[in-house]
A and B are shown apart, each in its own frame.
Chain A
C-alpha cells in the first residue's frame, strides 16, 4: 500500500516538472513550480525526512514562489517556449 502512494506522488512530481517547463506563460510556470515544490515536500515527509520536508514547505513552496511572482510582476509574463 505504501509504495503506491510513493509512486503516485512521484508521477505527480514529474508531471508538474514537465508542465512547469513547457507552459507558455511565466505566471503559470511560477504556480506549477510551487505545486512541484509542495509535492516534493510530501515525498520527503513519506521518506521520514521531516526537517527537510518542513524546510521545503516553508522555503520552496512559500517564499521562493513569492520571489518568483514578484520577479514576473517586474518583468514580463510573455515567453516563446
Chain B
C-alpha cells in the first residue's frame, strides 16, 4: 500500500501530461473544424514540451543561472554544486521549439485562410462534399 502511494506521488505528473496529450490527439482525429484541429495540434505540442521540461526538473534545485559571489567576476568549476541547479538542456531544446511552433501555427492559419477563401467554410466534411461536387 505504501509503495503504491509512493508510486502515485512520484508519477501522477506524467499521467496528467499523458491525459493532456491524448486530449490533443483526440482533437486532431475527431474534430471536424480545421481551427479546432490546429488547437489540438498545439495542445499536443505543449504537452510534449511539458514532459521534456519535467524530465529536467530536480527537487530542491534552483534556476539554471549560476550564482557568482558578490565582488567576484567568475567562479571556479570545482565550487559549483551540480545537484543545486536544474538541468538546463531540456530548456534550451524546448525554448526554440516554442518559437518554431508559433511560426508553424502562423503558416497553418494562412493555409486555413486560403481554404476558407476557396470553399467558404472551415468544416472538413463540407470541404470534402464540395470537392466531390466539382
Contact (A75, B50) CB under 8 Å given A18-B23, A21-B31: no
Count chain A CB atoms within 10 A of each CB in B27, B33, B57 and give the residue with the most: B33
In the bound complex, residues from chain A placing their C-beta under 8 Å from that of B46 are 36-37, 40, 60
Contact size class for A?
A: 35 or more
What is the bound-complex CA distance between A50 and B106, given in angstroms?
A: 25
Contact size class for B?
A: 35 or more
**Chain B CB within 8 A of A35 CB:** no
List the interface of chain B (C-beta within 8 A of A).
Answer: 9, 12-13, 16, 19-20, 23-24, 26-27, 31-33, 35-36, 39-40, 42-43, 46, 49-50, 53-54, 56-57, 61-65, 86, 90-91, 94-95, 98-99, 102, 105-106, 109, 112-113, 116, 121-123
